[in-house]
Structure 1
Amino acid sequence: MLKTWDIFCKVVDNFGDIGVCWRLAKQLQREHGLQVRLWVDDLGIAQHLIPTLALASATQYHEDICIQNWYEHADFSQAADVVIEGFACGLPSSYLSAMVKHQSKWLNLEYLSAESWVDDFHGKPSPQANGLVRYFYFPGFTEKSGGLIRESNMTAQLQSNPDTPFLQQQEPSLNKNSRRIAATQSSALYLPSCVRFPALAGVTENEA
């Protein structure tokens, strides 16, 4: 069983990359009981989202997730069962070597897109010269895409609190009961990515 998952995140656009990767890490840990390690190259930016983060600590745990400082001389000798490369950030060469030895499953998380071509490229394999296969994960808005990165209980949370700023901004003219209905309709349209990530890893496991 693929229990250990590593997510690599390079902070490029301030909170965008780390925000997505941190949210995904929490979903995989909470909803699937996976051992998740999040590699981040800028703890200073990450600290804005994780206030208890210690900038001087190379390895630390927050919300049962291991957060690893990604720097040049970090220990990359232990590869996870499944590796998520956030937004084609590039993986360290020594870690790639460890992945080959461990025969890790490799998923490249792409940016969210509503374009139709996403359906044709989601989940496609890209064989590498080192023998690994890199699979492309495209979040999107259709059943053929990777879905949206959101919590599986988001619908219930919005229904229980229809006065959240999010719903008030989205549906300002609706009363409380109508906002509850809107929350159900909008969030039920798209399968959460946290369901599809393990599913795609299972596909790669069967094909390996």
Structure 2
Amino acid sequence: MIDIPDRIPTACPSCSPDLETVHEVLSQGGGSFTVRCGECGHVHKVQPEPEREVTLDVVVSQEGESFTANVTTPEGETVEVGDEFILETEEVLSTVRVTSVELEEHRRVESAPAEEIETVWTREVDNVAVNVTIHPKDGRKDDSRSTTVYVPGDYEFTVGETETFGDDEFEIDAFVVRGDASGYDRDRYEIDGDTVLAKDAKRVYAYDKTTSAWSAW
């Protein structure tokens, strides 16, 4: 849908057929604008300029694998790390987050206008894998182990709360935030009540709370 501006520059067939003048937009209908010339008051219709678009190559990382796709976006639109958008192809419909923007000669930047971009690197954030380091109950971190939990991207992990996944039960001690996440003021959080969305978590640290005896194996 075309946004209706208050005023547009366009030629007036009555007083300025060769030069643009400022016109007031009165209405939109049938794919055209009805406008009034600011110089002579003549009312006429004009066709709005079509929005120019560019096609971007997108690489999507999904649980250790990757695939490529294409998306269109308005020319001049800025794409930056942390942006999220819905990617729809014949194979998949998912929300992805920009992790890197690649320009010519494989240069990586944080943001760039769409028309300058060669490749947009992303990861799927609808459902994510979160790495969890679990320390034994007695705090001996030398015997810590790692596991991976699979949850929706908007699932919340909170320091001080207990989580159960399969045979694992653990109390969250801290978490580290991904570099592409926004809305956080530091990388590591470890105060009770601190919360992170699963799609923003680089790693979660926790203490084992299972009832069975601890085993590093």
- The one of the two structures with greater contact order (alpha-carbon pairs below 8 A, sep at least 6) is 1
The alignment's TM-score, normalised by the length of structure 1, stands at 0.20
Q: Please identify which structure carries the higher helix content.
A: 1
User: How high is the TM-score relative to the length of structure 2?
Assistant: 0.20
**Which has the higher Rg, Structure 1 or Structure 2?**
2
Greater fraction of residues in strand: 2
